[in-house]
Chain A
Amino acid sequence: MTTVQARQAGRAAGEQTRARYPDDEGHVEREGVRVFWERYGDGEPTVFLLPTWSIVHARFWKAQIPYLARHFRVVTFDGRGNGRSDRPEGAAAYSEREFAADALAVLDATATERAVLVSLSCGALWSTLLAADHPGRVDGIVYIGPAVGLAPPHPERAVHSFFEPLDTDEGWARYNRHYWLRDYRGFLQYFFSRCLTEPHSTKQQEDCVAWALEIAPETLIDTEQGLLLCGLESFERQCRRLRCPVLVVHGDEDAIRPHAQGAALAAATGGRLVTLAGAGHLPQARDPVKVNLLIREFVESLGGRVR
């Protein structure tokens, strides 16, 4: 009889094993803030997976990287505030201009002349700004569940103040700075249960909560205030300046950002809208095969545009 131990029962503390490890990685420093990037694969063109809100870091692309890196060159980085990037203090450090400038610095640091951008949720703000200001560096944009103010938010999310103390902890009342400081994990569990509304999302929720515990609630408050500085007017102007092809992917059961926001972004950019039936706010995690195929098909459709 032979005995084979097929899998380790317990994993070492720290990061989970990955299906695919980067071929190159490094930090790029800009105005004293270091952000951490990774590169996978050597295909053409480069697909640039942007950060989203710093409540999570670049591992939220874990279901995209191994597949896309078999076909393209993939670059990603941890947004400032989480992962292996620095955590500067103050809301001003987390404006969309800072994220877009970090993204440009990562393009330079990885010697990436041009790329197709892929952004999730409020990553839409930085992908749009980067493409509007540097059209020569961007061949196309994929927006997944874009968090853009082109259509009204869900009504239940517009009830409670983020800044003022509240007399309730129910539902979206937990999206409140005082609650974050009081029960950060409780907020995270609620928030990601609303991000991942599909049945059988326990693994994805567990992943996201763990990543979010890598940023302190005080820093997350800075990032939230930084996002609140982003103006709708300037975003609409940026959209009008876009010249590249656009694909918008939005779940029709997105409980964080209404599908109408994705539809409005597709209309504003002349892009194609793909509606994912039954999908919530993070379809790249819950419908990865569908999302990966959409990204690949979009990238390949750019054909001659891409060098």
Chain B
Amino acid sequence: MRAREPDADGFVDRGGVKLHWERFGHGEPTLLLLPTWTVVHARFWKAQIPYLARHFRVVTYDGPGNGRSDRPLDPGPYGYEEEARAAAAVLDATGTGRAVAVSLSMGAQWALWLMANRPERLLGSVFIGPAIDLGLMDGDVEDTFDEPYTSTEGWARYNRYYWLDHYQDFLEFFFAQCFSEAHSTKQVEDAVGWGLETSPEVLIAEHAGPEPDGATARDWCARSPCPVLVIHGDDDQVVAPRHGRALAEATGGTLVVLGGAGHIPNARDPVKVNRLIADFARSLPATEPR
């Protein structure tokens, strides 16, 4: 059961891969709530949609691989450029001229691509816990994703073979890291449930999709004229807060650090995050009619 049902929904076809979008409300401007990693679908915005749709027009969609979208097993649809172009296609399909992009974690890659390459479509961009490598991530993690796992502890579970063997255990581990705040059992349960709607095979295909390198991402930041708000929890166990700080610096944006918050503050601090998004959207120069 949802607090708010969509006013319209439909599918976009991207080369045979169907993506499911939803639209809520009629206010101005439009907020485009982007997908994030394929492990969850658009319901991860469940604490934003009912509030934001009272003030703005809200468009969201399931990225390839989860929710009501198709689940391709080749990496193509999961590459950053195709993911970003799919977002633009959703803007087209919903008759949205310009929007404020709102992204969580690796959704930052697609938001940043749009800022640099489709600047006429974006009024502003809100990044929450952005997972975008601006050249700072080298050496963060030893990449043993494709090697047989020799440990089942901690992040060793971020491994293709472990996913195939113990998918639910990986999900429970991963979302426990995402939700480092006390009293997150409901949010963990929701997220694990969404993770179980896709498969380790899909996540492995997604993993093979290309991601932008640090120089490319820095170039996008430098090229974009788009106003930016970055929200980052200072207890984020998945993407260190310094990456959010770096993105705010590179884009000339505003950084809001949420004390005590983890990687998904939109779920654990929804009131705070919703007000930050709303205030940011209202602060932007008035948009021309769609």
Contact = CB atoms under 8 A, between A and B. Distances in A.
Interface string B230-262: 000011000000000100110011111111110
Contacts of B182: 202-203, 206
A12 interface: no
Centre residue among A1, A8, A203 by max chain B CB count within 10 A: A1
B248 A7 contact: no
Nearest to B230: A1
A203 B254 contact: no
Nearest to A204: B183
B215 to A, nearest CB: 21
Contacts of A202: 182-183, 185
Nearest to A11: B260
Nearest to B272: A6
Interface in A184-224: 199-200, 202-203, 206
B183 to A, nearest CB: 4
Interface residues of B, number: 23
Given A200-B186, A202-B185, A206-B183, A5 B254 contact: no
Instruction: Classify chain A: how many residues form its interface, as a range.
Output: 10 to 19
A4 interface: yes
B185 A1 contact: no
Interface in B146-161: none
A113 to B, nearest CB: 38
A16 interface: no
A198 to B, nearest CB: 10
B257 A2 contact: no
B230 to A, nearest CB: 9
A200 B189 contact: yes
B186 A199 contact: yes
A9 interface: yes
Contacts of A1: 245, 248-249, 252-255
Contacts of B185: 199-200, 202
A17 interface: no
A4 B183 CA distance: 25
A2 B254 contact: yes
A202 B185 CA distance: 8
Interface string B193-211: 0000000000000000000
A6 B258 contact: yes
Nearest to B254: A2
A9 B260 contact: yes
Contacts of A10: 259-260
A9 B256 CA distance: 13
Contacts of B186: 199-200
18 contacts: A1-B248, A1-B249, A1-B252, A4-B254, A4-B255, A7-B259, A7-B261, A9-B235, A9-B259, A9-B260, A10-B259, A10-B260, A199-B186, A199-B189, A200-B186, A202-B182, A203-B182, A203-B183
